[in-house]
Amino acid sequence: MKAQTDSAVAALSSSDAEQTFGTVTAVTPVEPPAQISAEDVSLRQYTGERDLPHVMRLIDNELSEPYSIFTYRYFLHTWPKLCFLAFHKQHCFGTVVCKLEPHQELMRGYIAMLVVEKSFRGLGIGTKLVKVAVDTMMQGGDLDEVVLEAEVSNLGALSLYTNLGFIRDKRLARYYMNGVDAFRLKLLLPLSPEKEEELAAAQLHRVQVSLWHMYFVN
Ligand SMILES: CC(C)(COP(=O)(O)OP(=O)(O)OC[C@H]1O[C@@H](n2cnc3c(N)ncnc32)[C@H](O)[C@@H]1OP(=O)(O)O)[C@@H](O)C(=O)NCCC(=O)NCCS
């Protein structure tokens, strides 16, 4: 995601946010153990403001773009069910932050941030975080695509998303604040037969209305 001033973010003033959520205290990073056993690793949904310091610490440490607390709160307050955290025992080492919005009669998911701490990479957790987020977005039924941006040089992320079926949609020149280009990646999802039928009926209706206008109104 690009660090930009979203209007919804800007609309949430500092005092509003402090009143709504209280002050956020930093979490001290914990050294991960040398041996990571699968039973000690768990994934769970964001549960509220007490999880915010985990998300902020991970993203601030691992992503190149700086984000304000209002950006975090914009996503986490609006789509708390689309944020997941990965834990090793009590230590939070990974997170994904997303949103879901209407787009041309359907819903479009957006993966804003994805991070796994260095010592926990290569274990499939990044993939699991993306999968659980996309599965949750699909529960509404109208999701037809999921998009995100990644630095063109971020081979790890590009490879992770390609493995999951994302395709390169376009290249965005100097997209990031550090001047690096981005790829817009897109995952196209099949719609249910009922939804396809509903969209086809709506399209047919639009054609009939415009023909009616052409012959009887103009
Ligand atoms: C990208 C990131 C989340 C991947 O997390 P992860 O838990 O290591 O990912 P996974 O273990 O699920 O890896 C899945 C696939 O991604 C690829 N991959 C992950 N890291 C890679 C790397 N450093 N180099 C090359 N490929 C890599 C591999 O193809 C891997 O598949 P494989 O296990 O079959 O080889 C992690 O590297 C990270 O946090 N990076 C910094 C933040 C970032 O770039 N976020 C993405 C912003 S778009």
Indicate whether residue 159 lines ligand 1 (CB < 6 A): yes
65 lines ligand 1 (CB under 6 A): no
Which pLDDT score is estimated for 26? 53
Predicted pLDDT of residue 21: 39
Ligand 1 centroid to Cα of residue 121, in Å, is 7
Ligand 1 atom showing the smallest separation from residue 157 Cα: 1
Please choose from 116, 131, 132 the residue to mutate so as to test ligand 1's pocket, defined by most ligand atoms within 8 A of CB: 116
121 lines ligand 1 (CB under 6 A): yes
Going by their DSSP bridges, the two strands 182-188 and 143-151 should be labelled as antiparallel
Sheet holding 106-116, edge to edge: 41-45, 83-88, 91-103, 106-116, 143-151, 182-188, 167-172
The rounded distance, in Å, linking the Cα atoms of 145 and 114 is 18
Rounded to 5°, the CA angle 186-191-196 comes to 130
Per-residue pLDDT of the chain (218 residues; tens, 9 = 90+): 776 544 444 444 344 433 333 445 455 555 555 678 888 899 999 999 999 999 999 999 988 888 999 999 999 999 999 999 999 999 999 999 999 999 988 999 999 999 999 999 999 999 999 999 999 999 988 999 999 999 999 999 999 999 999 999 999 999 998 899 999 999 999 887 888 888 888 888 888 888 888 888 76
CA of 155 to the centre of ligand 1 (A): 8
Q: Is 154 in the pocket of ligand 1 (CB under 6 A)?
A: yes
pLDDT of residue 18: 39
The pLDDT value given to residue 5: 40
Q: What is the pLDDT of residue 56?
A: 97
Q: Is the CB of 157 under 6 A from ligand 1?
A: yes
59 CA distance to ligand 1 middle (Å): 15
Looking at residue 33, its pLDDT comes to 56
**Predicted TM-score (pTM) above 0.85:** no
> How far is the centre of ligand 1, averaged over its atoms, from the C-alpha of 152 (Å)?
14
Task: Please indicate whether residue 118, judged by its CB atom, sits closer than 6 Å to ligand 1.
Answer: no
Which are the contacts of 49, defined by CB distance < 8 A and separation ≥ 6? 21, 22, 24
Which residue has the CA at smallest separation from atom 4 of ligand 1? 126
